[in-house]
């Protein structure tokens, strides 16, 4: 009986720690999707010969990232003159990022497949 009393505080401590860990895991599970969607909010995916979203609106100072999910190379090339940005060829899973510091409308296209177009609107 004496040994049960000696281990009771340790058992309570383990049970308490277990509850703390479970609560922390639950909070993390709720937070991760929000963090992922925040990061994804400034991402343009290149998939099936399209930019998605085709139009993305961001605040000045935002870094936008394009990721090529196609099996074909693509570029992200500013339509402006002079060009604000140009990625060069992006292979599958290749990415390119550009920070938009000034408000304006920035149309772009794929120089390899000119029918692919998109627009970044900076406010």
pLDDT in tens, 22-36: 565 555 555 545 444
Q: Where are the beta strands (DSSP E) in the chain?
A: 43-47, 50-52, 55-58, 62-68, 77-78, 95-100, 104-109, 117-122
Beta strand 117-122 pairing with 104-109: antiparallel
Q: Does 21 have pLDDT greater than 60?
A: no
- Give pLDDT tens digits for 34-73: 444 455 789 999 999 999 999 999 999 999 999 999 999 9
**Whether the predicted model's global pTM rises above the 0.95 cut:** no
- Give pLDDT tens digits for 71-100: 999 999 999 999 999 999 999 999 999 999
Distance CA 51, CA 65 (A): 12
R_g over Cα of the chain? 24
């Amino acid at each position: 009986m004496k040994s049960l009393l000696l281990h009771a505080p340790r058992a309570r401590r383990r049970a308490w720690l277990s509850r703390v860990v479970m609560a922390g895991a639950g909070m993390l599970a709720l937070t991760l999707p929000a963090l992922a969607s925040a990061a994804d909010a400034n991402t343009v995916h290149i998939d099936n010969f399209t930019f998605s979203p085709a139009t993305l609106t961001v605040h000045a100072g935002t870094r936008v990232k394009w990721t090529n999910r196609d099996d074909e190379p693509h570029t992200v090339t500013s339509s402006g003159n002079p060009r604000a940005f140009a990625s060069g060829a992006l292979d599958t899973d290749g990415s390119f990022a550009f920070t938009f510091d000034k408000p304006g409308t920035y149309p772009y296209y794929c120089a390899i497949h000119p029918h692919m177009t998109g627009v970044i609107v900076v406010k």
